[in-house]
A and B are shown apart, each in its own frame.
Chain A
Amino acid sequence: MSTRRTVFCNARLIDPAGGLDVKGGLLVENGKIADLGPRLFGDVDRSDPEVIDCRGLVLAPGLIDMRVFTGEPGSEHRETLESASRAAVVGGVSTIIVMPNTDPVIDEPSLVDFIRRRAEATAKVRVLPMAALTRHLAGEVMTEIGLLKEAGAVAFTDGDRTVANTRVLRRALAYASTFGALVVGHAEDPDLTAGSSVNEGEYAMRLGLPAAPAMAETMIVERDIRLVELTGARYHFGQISCRASLQAIAAAKARGLPVTCGVSAHHLALNELDVGPYYTFMKVKPPLRSEADRAAMVEGVASGVIDVIVSSHDPQAADTKRQPFAQAAFGAVGLETLLPVALALYHDGHAGLAHVLKAMTAAPAKILGLESGVLAKGAPADLVLIDPDAPIAVDHNKLHSRARNTPFEGRKFQGRAAMTFVGGECVFDCEAEGRA
């Protein structure tokens, strides 16, 4: 069998895990990174079809998006694994972690298997499923965590639902820790937030919308931290959105608890005022918070207390979004805007480029125990070539997702993926797309 090679030359190599940031080259052989370094391919023949001239752009590990909702199975009109993967590659995302909140719920080993096979057959990126932590996401009975893990579930979560029953959660966490399984939680007190659609405060009052206070999140964060302390389970908060939650997690980390957390790109970029005159595309879960909380999320990423940035991609169709605000569904698409929105932290001087990228590569890889997310010999050649300065304007008509519910319509950002590779194969080439 002949060796399939791709040579990347003239790149700015950034490996967020190892802190590498140098000009150099990278060699891919048979889908894996075979070599890389500053002295590699300095004088390679750039007309060779195996050679990709990176023109000084950033070559980094492909992004890993730890929080993606799709509609497959059950709501394929909103999004399939295939359509989500098309959006992903445009955003430089080479691995998506899909949530079990589908119909049926991914709470059976055979359904985990279905997602994996379906993704293999249709998707352009790696698709790794999380399985439900409780059956039917009902928060009552734990799932077969051992069997599901064997089937390929990378973590256990009830997605955007909080397990309200503390006894159930305690046992699920204790049981999960038996298998070293990662549990991903959603923090919103279901009773306090029942019926609410925005963050409680002056603006919600002005709009007359049912609202819940930010501490409805922090209460659950604090509760779950206590349960982690009790059970020793590895626990990741899928996304947090306010300063008090950040402080609680910082304190838990300082105590040495195995707790990590994520934040969505939209909670880094938007606040409650962006709801404007009832824009339902701004209705997300947890809701957009105050400006002080948004700023705290940016700080949290910069300080490293927030480990991961996610898109929290949640496609919704017109039937669920073209409704009065209180009736409209939660959720925003984000796979294609994750990178540009996150890069704003770098452009605004809050964090270095490698640090921002780490929150979407090495950090989620480490939490999930993946081989990807690094530039290292032997690692999968999941790569993204980033033009960090390219200007983009978000246009919902040009999104590749089946759904159009972006909260960033018309906004301008700097930075985008120029090319995306999965296992050494080019799955997206910005220039080729432009010509097509």
Chain B
Amino acid sequence: MSPAAQPILQSSHLLGIEGLSVGEITALLDLAEEYVALGRAKEKKSPLLKGRTVINLFFEPSTRTQSSFELAGKRLGADVMNMSVRTSSVTKGETLIDTATTLNAMRPDILIVRHQDSGAAAMLARKLDCCVVNAGDGSHEHPTQALLDALTIRRRRRLEGLVVAICGDVLHSRVARSNIHLLGKMGARVRLIGPKTLMPADVGRYGVEVFTDMQEGLKGVDIVMMLRLQLERMSGAFVPSTREYFRYWGLDRKKLAFAKPGTLVMHPGPMNRGVEIDSRVADDIEVSLIHEQVEMGVAIRMAVLDALSRGLPAEGRNL
């Protein structure tokens, strides 16, 4: 964490897990451990990013990811600006490019962006001079979520050889994609469980096992990751009803019993209780890592900001 700290990331952006090496992932997780400790201390702040500007640009409403990044930036001493952009579907793209050029002129050091379209973060990275962190782009990737999940797991279990089930709406989930990449790279075995309407085509070619039945899919599983099911996808479009979905794919104690004893449960939040997860599972501190995930989220985001800042020029830039 000193100014002479070693570089961690090859790229000056964090756009996805797909482009990261095992070494980069491990280094980020190790660095995050230091920030877990810092977050638990009385003095939670570091002056590392003092004078730097971090912009949170959120085109989709998000409470926890946005506040997690905000807190991470503030704990590192950066000036953090939050921009929530509500857009109509017609002007979405135009707003993105226009906003990007406007923001560029404000000379931010790090831009954190969430957008409803896949590839939006990559597009901004091409247009802007600052570091770009993808905080979720469409159905593509959500790299800090996968990193915080890995950090949470790693504190309890060894990632290599672990059997992880990702359950629910894989088709639309950026969390699932980032986790598939990350867990695969780190040597874990990934299973996907859900109805066929929520499974992407050719998903089997990803080196994962695919199940439609929870009982079968959860057999021998160490970690169960539940995915959020968007409400608009539940009434006949992808699944007929919430009660039918809960009956077959909602995680309750009965279904959890099919997994290994001591299985841990994760959820990226916010949860739909009674849809994809039963409250008795979600609130069971013996099995649920959901709150720990939130804590790890701040630490991971501090680590990401730290890592990216190491590539920033020490002096001001002449543009």
Contacts and interface: CB of A to CB of B under 8 A. Distances in A.
Residue of A200, A208, A277, A328 with most chain B CB atoms under a 10 A cut-off: A208
Given A208-B140, A208-B174, A324 B119 contact: yes
B123 interface: yes
Interface in B94-145: 94, 96-97, 115, 117-120, 122-123, 137-141
A207 B140 contact: yes
Interface string B199-225: 011110110000000000000000000
Contacts, number: 72
Nearest to B126: A277
B18 A324 contact: no
B304 to A, nearest CB: 20
Interface residues of A, number: 22
Nearest to A199: B201
B295 to A, nearest CB: 27
Interface in B190-248: 200-203, 205-206
Interface residues of B, number: 26
B201 A200 contact: yes
Contact of B139 (A202, A209, A319): A209
A316 to B, nearest CB: 13
A302 B56 CA distance: 54
Nearest to B119: A278
A208 B137 contact: yes
Contacts of A327: 92-93, 117
Interface string A292-333: 000000000000000000000000000100111111100000
Given A277-B122, A319-B94, A324-B93, A201 B201 contact: yes
Contacts of B94: 319, 323
B201 A324 contact: no
Given A206-B18, A208-B140, A324 B200 contact: no
A211 B203 CA distance: 13
B177 interface: yes
B300 to A, nearest CB: 21
A210 to B, nearest CB: 8
B118 A325 contact: yes
Residue of A210, A211, A322, A324 with most chain B CB atoms under a 10 A cut-off: A324
Contact of B177 (A206, A210, A326, A328): A206
A78 B52 CA distance: 42
B202 A201 contact: yes
A278 B92 contact: no
Given A207-B118, A208-B118, A208-B137, A278 B123 contact: yes
A325 B202 contact: no
Contacts of A278: 118-119, 122-123
A38 interface: no
Contacts of B97: 322-323
A22 interface: no
Contacts of B138: 208-209, 324, 326
5 closest residue pairs by CB, A with B: A208-B140, A278-B119, A324-B117, A323-B93, A208-B139
22 contacts: A200-B201, A200-B202, A201-B201, A201-B202, A205-B177, A205-B203, A206-B18, A206-B177, A207-B118, A207-B119, A208-B137, A208-B138, A209-B138, A277-B119, A278-B119, A322-B97, A324-B92, A324-B118, A325-B117, A326-B117, A326-B118, A327-B92
